[in-house]
A and B are shown apart, each in its own frame.
Chain A
Amino acid sequence: MGRYASLLDTVGSTPLVGLPRLSPDTGDGPPVRLWAKLEDYNPTGSIKDRPALAMIEAAERDGTLRRGATILEPTSGNTGIALAMAAKIKGYGLVCVMPENTSEERKQLLRAFGARIVYSPAAGGSNEAVRRAKELAEQNPDWVLLYQYGNPANVQAHYEGTGPELLKDLPEITHFVAGLGTTGTLIGVGRYLREHKPDVQIVAAEPRYGELVYGLRNLDEGFVPELYDESVLTGRYSVGAYDALRRTRELLELEGIFAGISTGAVLHAALAAAEKAVRAGQRADIAFVVADAGWKYLSTGAYAGALDEAAAKLDGQLWA
């Protein structure tokens, strides 16, 4: 921390903090420790500042993005907010295609940053946002579609930033756990760590939404991000809203970390890995990603009242 020439220079170098109360007590056995990488320390409050800035800079370098141009991106929110900040500083316009079933705070933030929002239908979730963004790109050839699901700069941001930061702060790392969306974080960090720690476990936690989000008309509309590389992962969990909320609240209650809901899903998978290590009597140092803080989800009622009622309210929402 210190003095920076501009807000863009503050992206990355986030803290890694120990979680002594959430880590299992292994008594005289080898320690099993959990570590949280606090990505909400980034300038717009989420891990997406890393790929957003990296994608813009890559497009500037290869000449596809010129001063005054309009950027187009399908996003459930965080990438859009990150792009909006960078676009404002660098003088670009921004059009975000966002599913209508995202939190109110995300919509308000995007508007506050001056982005134009095109809504895609709730049914089909981000799939529809991707489809609509590709349509808009065809109709507006002068707009620049950065496309976080297939842009190598997304993976590179984590390969060059998040991964090295983790290894420097936690050379004894045995597991890395993060949310699976564009897959950029897991693939980028996973590749970097694997090169330096061949035995490292790379575990994905993907949100399991309500039925609405899986409402494809046919299976061929299914979507696997172009960046996804299954060979990098060693495990993948699907975590529903109830478990995600339960863990989000535990993180707040036991460690004082006010995280967004997707972090609860990630913590759920991290705790499963911790339990396996305890059972096997193996030392584990498990780092997981806190992708953002809870501010943007307060209106969903995630942090108050009965768990099952709060989880029911998330049905049909994109909460990660």
Chain B
Amino acid sequence: MAVTVSIPTILRSHTGGQKSVEATGETVLEVIDDIESRHSGIKARLVKDDKLHRFINVYVNDEDVRFAGGLEAKVSDGDTVTILPAVAGG
């Protein structure tokens, strides 16, 4: 499954400044592993103790993966995966 992953400013040091990268995988975790294979160090910023970092939100087509299986959430061909730091609203 090929997906487009949008990278937040704070993590672009890992992607050579790229705002989005292409990746493959069946699940969010596989997508992250695939990005890590080309952009070493990014996984450690996203995943802690086999769970998403507390201040990182990941969305597959705008839906928060924490409510769709977490790191095991499925992705489909052509999906957009968005990574964002958690910030205050309200």
Partner of A181, one of B8, B63, B90: B90
Q: From residue A183, how far is it (CB to closest CB) to chain B in Å?
A: 8
Q: How many residues of A contact B (CB 8 A)?
A: 44
> In residues 64-84 of chain B, which contact A (Cβ within 8 Å)?
64, 66-67, 82, 84
Partner of A207, one of B66, B67, B89: B89
Partner of A219, one of B56, B62, B64: B56
The answer to whether A129 and B9 touch across the interface, beta carbons within 8 angstroms, is: no
The answer to whether A127 and B82 touch across the interface, beta carbons within 8 angstroms, is: no
Known pairs A219-B53, A230-B66; A238 contacts B89 (CB<8 A): no
Secondary structure at the B interface, as helix, strand, loop or mixed, is mixed
Question: Which of chain A's residues has its CB closest to B59's CB?
Answer: A238
Q: Which residues of A contact B67 (CB under 8 A)?
A: 233-236
Most chain B beta-carbon neighbours within 10 Å: one of A207, A208, A213, A238: A238
Partner of A127, one of B9, B66, B87: B87
Question: Which of chain B's residues has its CB closest to A224's CB?
Answer: B86
The answer to whether A223 and B87 touch across the interface, beta carbons within 8 angstroms, is: yes
The answer to whether B84 and A320 touch across the interface, beta carbons within 8 angstroms, is: no
The answer to whether A238 and B56 touch across the interface, beta carbons within 8 angstroms, is: no
A230 to B57, CA, bound (A): 13
Interface band, chain B: 20 to 34
Q: From residue B24, how far is it (CB to closest CB) to chain A in Å?
A: 23
The answer to whether B8 and A214 touch across the interface, beta carbons within 8 angstroms, is: yes
A219 to B67, CA, bound (A): 22
Known pairs A124-B87, A125-B88, A149-B88; A238 contacts B55 (CB<8 A): no
The answer to whether A216 and B84 touch across the interface, beta carbons within 8 angstroms, is: no
Partner of A79, one of B62, B66, B87, B90: B90
Determine if A156 is an interface residue (Cβ-Cβ < 8 Å): no
Task: Give the B-binding residues of A (Cβ under 8 A).
Answer: 74-76, 79, 124-127, 129-130, 148-149, 179-182, 204, 206-208, 211, 213-225, 230, 233-240, 320
Cβ contacts A to B, 23 pairs, < 8 Å: A74-B88, A125-B88, A126-B88, A127-B87, A130-B88, A149-B88, A179-B89, A181-B88, A181-B90, A182-B90, A204-B64, A207-B89, A214-B87, A216-B10, A216-B85, A221-B85, A222-B86, A222-B87, A223-B86, A224-B54, A235-B63, A238-B57, A239-B62
